[in-house]
Chains A and B, each alone.
Chain A
């Protein structure tokens, strides 16, 4: 049972390019989240989803797009990457009964 996985684990891209980070969970959790982690800022919520086809903005949504057509997948797209989006991105999921979020291994994204 893989739990929650993210791909790719590492990505280097150029300014202006579109990038999609994938997140997949095998628990059928209702809630899924995307965070970015930067030195000095800790974990900041980008977007979250309460169920398939239901998404909402978090603390830092600008420049990002999400979708959730299936419960198990929650891709995050940077439509036109900027250097300020260089970060480590974590996906998390929550079954909804306890508020405990379980995190994936992260994607380290570098925008040149």
Chain B
């Protein structure tokens, strides 16, 4: 069936480096994508989103890139900090938007001081 997945389950980086977390999706009708951050013992926290009519969107230290041709989404974190250590999920809504999100299984980002 249609799904959203992640290429790498874990990512370890040094403090100050840039991090890139990838996500593949299979539903070509997906029109809205979100990245969430989940710290241990907490609920998912919204980071940034992007609609299918865009290919790039920037926030504070984060950038989301969308490549609809290959159905690929990435989250770039600049100057990664220890506080960025968490599990990152991508999520998407299918075409027609019934407000139901499909989540990937997550990538664990570990930032080493």
Contact = CB atoms under 8 A, between A and B. Distances in A.
Contacts of B101: 45, 99, 101
Interface residues of B, number: 20
A96 interface: yes
A79 B42 CA distance: 26
A71 to B, nearest CB: 15
B44 to A, nearest CB: 5
Nearest to A45: B100
Interface in B95-113: 97, 99-101, 103-106
A106 B43 CA distance: 6
Interface residues of A, number: 23
A105 B43 contact: yes
Nearest to B36: A103
Interface of A: 31, 33, 40-43, 45, 48, 50, 58, 90, 92, 94, 96, 98-106
Interface of B: 32, 34, 36, 41-46, 49, 89, 93, 97, 99-101, 103-106
